[in-house]
Structure 1
Amino acid sequence: MNAALFPDLVVNGETVPHAVIASEAQNHDAPKGKPGIAWRKAADAVAIRTLLLQEARRRDLQPVPAEVGPGRFETDEEALIRGLLETALDVAPPSEEALHAEWARDPSRFRSPPLWEVSHILCACDPRDEAQRKAAEARATELADRACANPRDFAKLARENSDCGSKSSGGALGQLGPGDTVPEFEAVLRTLTEGEITKTPVLTRHGWHIIRIDAVADGAELPFETVRPKLAEAMEKAAWAREARSFVCQLVASATITGADLRTI
């Protein structure tokens, strides 16, 4: 092991095994051929975790693992850190004045989701199969040209050519909202205006689509009373994150650490 590239991590006299940092390094990105970067990121993360565990034990806290999913529980270390932060942090809910001020700063940020009335023509293929993909693209391109040249024929083209079950209704998919379709399809919906047809086919895992927006209902600006519960939750989470960061910085400031650089946390 290269001691310069992978130095020992020592936190307040406690040497952390290299295996612990190596395991953590799998969770951190680094350019190919530069494992030292992932190691340093992992060492920083492990140093913070070690500091928190040391503080939890100094306070004689006992782990009480919480259920985090059906049949899945925290590890003892996760439970100790959670218990420490719950004990050490005192984050007050935001006041009504703070909530209203945050909403009033830019009410347009808080809108109901848009709705799109959509029709499409699908030329199905497996995008991983190059021959299928190219053949379906050629067919979809020809259909897109015909649809754009004669928009009134869109439903007829869909009934006669689409590989989707919606062909029986002229390609109509009904109303769609965010998350109702695959990301590539939704991304295009957000760029189209009412009555517009995609001039070039759109590829998704289902194949190539020619998409028409039949109607658009833009999300309406939401009043403060509607926004308040989620805004309060978001502001409290942000405040908790700030307090947690401040608490960690205090631990770092009073600690003796080698093998990690926590000056920029």
Structure 2
Amino acid sequence: MKTSPILMLALAASFAAATFNAQSADAVAKVNGVTIPQSRVDLLLKNNAAQGQPDTPELRNRIREELITREVISQEALKKGLDKSPEVTTQLEIQKQIFLVNAYLQDYFKTHPVSEDTLKKEYERQKSLLGDKEYKARHILVKQENDAKQIIAQLKKGVSFEKIAAEKSEDQGSKGRGGDLDWSAPGRYVPPFGEALKKLKKGQLTDPPVQTQFGWHVIRLDDERAYKAPGFEEVKPQIQQNLQRQTLDKLIGDLRAKAKIE
């Protein structure tokens, strides 16, 4: 399942839609009798802090001036009735929906956190998949088995692997590098590819070619070395994000399944 755009929106926003907090009664300014509450400044300060910007008197003053400017212009827009235009109405509805989505997801992950035990189990699972070796390999990807067999025959006659990869490989990401896949553990590849790679000796080709969902691969092992997985704390944030993504994909699927969509 592909990652939902809703997830990307939610993670990118860092769940910053805390606009439902109780507003402070303190006012930072009034514009034509309209109060600008302290809560707006607090929210913008929070968002800036999430981006690494410290809370300073200068920043608070800039935010205050920006909010005053927004209020002045907003009042002029209201005088012209622009809030009633279809485009503005639609944009407001979209923004409201975005904040509601983020608020819901913030609440969901607050009540359904990924436990430390779950993170460690996933780490151990991934660690076991990666193994203790990594390989430097090249491959040529084609659609038809016969094409792959012909390429193997050419390679056995001494034709350059890099040349054929550049000319014929369907893998746009590696063909420009002569099929080079750089260093990687077998567990990072789809199973048929990874299993075939582990069976090769240095300099050896896969013969027959290897079939995956992407097509037919001619693989050459260039080198191998010992691999040490990164420590748990180093990859913990990435594992947590991946598990949250999986959880959210399932949540969205469940919600859509329950909804009456016409």
Please indicate the TM-score interval, normalised by the length of the shorter structure. 0.3 to 0.5
Q: Larger % of helix: which?
A: 2
- TM-score, normalising length: structure 2: 0.35
